[in-house]
Amino acid sequence: MTRTGRLPLLFGIVAICFLLDQGSKGLAAAYLRDAPPRIYLGDLFRLQFALNQGSFLGLGGSLGEEVRFGVFVVGVGALLSWLTVYILRAEGPRLSSVVGIALILGGGFSNWADRVMYGNVVIDFMNVGIGWLRSGIFNVADLQIEAGVILLLVANWRASRAPQPAEESAAAG
Kindly state whether residue 66 falls inside one of the protein's structural domains.
yes
* Residue 171 counted as domain residue: no
How much is the pLDDT for 64? 85
- Please check whether residue 170 lies inside any domain of the structure: no
pLDDT digits (tens, 9 = 90+) for 22-77: 999 999 999 999 999 999 999 999 999 999 998 876 677 778 889 989 989 999 99
In-domain check, residue 167: no
Give the residues across from 128 on adjacent strands: 45
In angstroms, the CA 102 to CA 140 distance is 14
- What's the domain range around 38? 3-160
* Nearest residue to 17 (alpha-carbon basis) of 98, 115, 105: 105
pLDDT bin (cut points 50, 70, 90) of residue 2 is confident
- Cα angle 59, 35, 108; round to 5: 35
Number of domains composing the chain = 1
In a domain, 172, yes or no: no
Given a cut of 60, is residue 173 above it in pLDDT?
A: no
Give pLDDT, residue 83. 96
Residue 1 exposed, middle or buried by CB count within 10 Å (0-12, 13-18, 19+): middle
| Domain presence at residue 115 | yes
pTM of the model: 0.88
Is residue 74 one of the residues assigned to a domain?
yes
Condensed to tens digits (0 to 9), the pLDDT of residues 13-28 reads 999 999 999 999 999 9
173 within a domain of the structure (yes/no): no
